Amino acid sequence: MSTTKIRVMNSGPLHVTGEFDLVDADGNRYPHQGIFSLCRCGKSASKPYCDGAHRAERWECTVKSDAPLRPAAS
Ligand code: FES
């Protein structure tokens, strides 16, 4: 089983590493493998991918969870 890692960047995108399927609103699947950055700010011209526009827009968002970690459901 491969592991997919999603890292939430403060004032930036979601960095997704590993193997995963991106699924659009119509249910079309787009398999991915490697490292991708998904836009979180809504400013990218190439959504759902980050194109760096968050920097030019000086978009700010800090994500911090105080919730306890839970084991993944099997
Ligand atoms: S997070 Fe980078 S362009 Fe939106």
CA torsion sign for 37, 40, 43, 49 is positive
Looking at domain 5-56, its CATH class is: alpha beta
Ligand 1, atom 2, residue with closest C-alpha: 50
Contact 59, 43 (CB under 8 A): yes
Which residues form ligand 1's pocket by a CB distance below 6 Å? 12-13, 39-41, 43-44, 50-54
- Interval between CA 74 and ligand 1 midpoint (Å): 32
pLDDT tens digit sequence for 15-64: 999 999 999 999 999 999 999 999 999 999 999 999 999 999 999 999 88
DSSP per residue over the chain, as a string?
----EEEEPTTS-EEEEEEEEEE-TT--EEEEEEEEEE-SSS--TTTTB--SHHHHTT--------SPP-PPP-
Token pair of 11, please?
């004032």
Supply the pLDDT for residue 68. 79
**Can you give the residue ranges of every domain in the chain?**
5-56
